[in-house]
Structures are given as structure tokens and as C-alpha cells.
A = this chain, B = another copy of it.
Amino acid sequence: MSVRLTESHYGKARVRLVAVERGAERHELADWTVDIRFGGDYERAHREGDNAGVYPTDSMKNSVYALARDHAAEGPERFALRLACHFLTRPARPAAVEIAIEARPWRRIEVGGAPHPHAFVAGSEERRLTRVAADGEQESIESGVRDLVVLKTTGSAFAGFPRDEYTTLAETGDRILATAIEAVWRYDRAPRDFDAAHERARRGLLETFAGHESRSVQHTLYAMGERVLEELPEAGEIRLRLPNRHHWRVDLAPFGRDNPNLVFVATAEPYGLIEGTLSRA
């Protein structure tokens, strides 16, 4: 039988890195999880077990720590670019390299109303995403957010949908809308300040979610995507992925009570899942 290797990648996943910038006035904290992924022709490694072209994933991990010492403070996008370039100069240079960074948010503890110089409290499960791909000729940069969990108690409807014999869902003009926003936008050119651009996009997502009169998750997805592309002239595309975290109004009639959108049960599974990509026309 004749078989061939038609695609191959490898790398190190989930390298945990905590980097401290020890300023005179205060410390800055970067809490990242880094993924490295090499692409190339690894046929000989696979078929014959010849490792001459297999740069160890352990060395990838070491490189993250070594470079982080002086460069983590540049922020995740620039650090990922630097890391990608670094790997393209290693022995057994890969044809292409991808770097993904998830940054965990921390806030300063307030002491007597003032932010503390070196003590932090963890933020939410939200993560700031960075993805860089490079092959020595071209680079692509994406930024984004995942698990930005939001909920609104009104301003959301779902009606006018097609019905058939499998449809039992009631139309509603007022429901809870809850989701965990995953949004990744592609930069066609680098913004001057990646942190500021990220903050602008994030604020746009939140404000649009809050203010939009939603007729469906799709409707809100589009409005959020459009807003981010408005906020970020450097971005050409945004992909959004919105689980519909259902909150079902509990039927209290058996207990002699009405329930005018006061008591809900939130269910984890199953959930609707809405995905869409918006591009600048």
C-alpha cells in the first residue's frame, strides 16, 4: 500500500509564562500562555524516524523564556512577531511558524482607594488573544478576545422564525441574552498601539452588546462585528463566535405564581452556537 504525508505540523502547546516588569514606581505583570507551531516538510521524520530536521519542542519552550526576559514588556503582538522571527533563524528552520498567545487579565488591588504598585487580583475568565503567522516572507497578525461573558436582562427578542412540526419554541419579545464573546480580527496593517486598539475593540463589543436592540444572536453578532471594524481602520476582517447561553424562564404556574421575567434557569448544554465573519467590502 502506498501512503504519503500530506500535511504536518508540530510544536509546543501551553507554555505558561509570567513576566514581571520591575519599574521603579510599580511592577507590570504579563501572564501568558504561549503556543508554538511549526509547519514544513517532515516526511523523513515521520517515515524513517530521522530527527535531523526536528527542532525539539523543549527548545521552543526555552526560547519563550529566554526572549521573554527582555521583550515581554513589548506586549503580546510584538512578542509573538519576535518569537516567530526567532524560530525562522533556528537550525532546521521551519517553512512556517505560528504563535498564539492567550493573556490573562489581572487588576491592581486597591488599597485605601489607590491601585497597589505590585499586588494584583485576577480578572475574569476572559482572555486576550494574539495570533501571528510567519514564513519569512509574509506575516499575519490577529488579535482578539475569548470568553468575554456578557448578559443583558432585556433588549433581546427572537420571533418571526419558520416553524414546522418539530418546533415547540415560543416566540418572545423579551428574553435574557447571554453569551461568551469570542472575536478575532485580522490586522491588514499594524496599528500604532496594539494595546489601545485592543481596548477600543473590546469596548466596542461591550457597548454594542449592551445597547443593541437584538432580534437574534445573529443580529447582535453583526452589529458587534461592524462596530469593531469601525473602531479599527487597520482591521480588514473579524470572525465572531457566540454561544447562546440559554436562560429559560421558569414556569411557576404549578406553584401558583406568575413569572414576568423574574426567575430563570441557566443551562450549560445544549446551546445555540452562532458564527459569522465580517469583511470590509
Given contacts A8-B275, A18-B265, A268-B269, 19 further A-B contacts (CB under 8 A): A4-B279, A4-B281, A5-B276, A16-B267, A17-B263, A17-B265, A18-B266, A20-B153, A22-B260, A46-B276, A51-B216, A56-B161, A69-B262, A111-B207, A111-B210, A112-B207, A118-B153, A122-B126, A124-B124
Known interface pairs A57-B244, A273-B11; A149-B166 also in contact (CB < 8 Å): no
Q: Is the CB of A272 within 8 A of B10?
A: yes
Given contacts A123-B124, A219-B49, contact A62 B168 (CB under 8 A): yes
A270/B12 contact (C-beta < 8 A), A66-B255, A162-B91, A221-B46 known: yes
User: Assuming A14-B269, A69-B257, A277-B6, is B161 touching A54 (CB within 8 A)?
Assistant: yes
In the bound complex, do residue A7 and residue B58 qualify as a contact, i.e. CB atoms below 8 Å apart?
Answer: no
Q: Which residues of A in the span 26-50 have a Cβ within 8 Å of any Cβ on B?
A: 27, 29, 31, 37, 42, 45-50
**Interface residues on chain A, number (Cβ under 8 Å):** 141
Asked if A280 CB lies within 8 Å of chain B CBs, one says yes
Q: Give the chain B neighbours of A270 by CB distance below 8 A.
A: 12-16, 57, 61
Whole-angstrom distance between the alpha carbons of A238 and B271 in the complex? Answer: 30
A107 nearest CB neighbor, chain B only: B124
Is A90 positioned at the interface, with any CB of B under 8 Å from its CB?
Answer: yes
Complex-state Cα separation, A2 to B255, whole angstroms: 44
CB distance from A249 to the nearest CB of B (A): 10
Complex contact B52–A271 (CB within 8 A): no
Given contacts A6-B278, A8-B276, contact A252 B69 (CB under 8 A): yes
Return chain B residues, CB-CB under 8 Å to A6.
237, 277-279
- A150 near B66: Cβ-Cβ < 8 Å: no
How many copies make up the complex?
4
Query: Is residue A119 within 8 Å, beta carbon to beta carbon, of the partner chain?
Result: yes
The interface residues of chain B lying within 8 Å CB-to-CB of A12 are: 270-273
In the complex, whether A65 has a CB less than 8 A from a CB of chain B is yes
Interface residue A274 (Cβ < 8 Å from any Cβ of B): yes
* A114 CB → nearest B CB, Å: 11
The interface centre, meaning the residue of A2, A150, A153 with most chain B CB atoms within 10 A of its CB, is A153
Q: Which residues of B contact A109 (CB under 8 A)?
A: 150, 206-207, 209-210
Q: Is A24 an interface residue (CB 8 A)?
A: no
Q: Which residues of B contact A37 (CB under 8 A)?
A: 273
CB A258 to nearest CB in B, in angstroms, measures: 8
| Known A-B contacts A118-B152, A244-B57; A8 and B277 likewise in contact (beta carbons under 8 Å) | yes
Quick check: B255 and A62 within 8 Å, CB to CB? yes
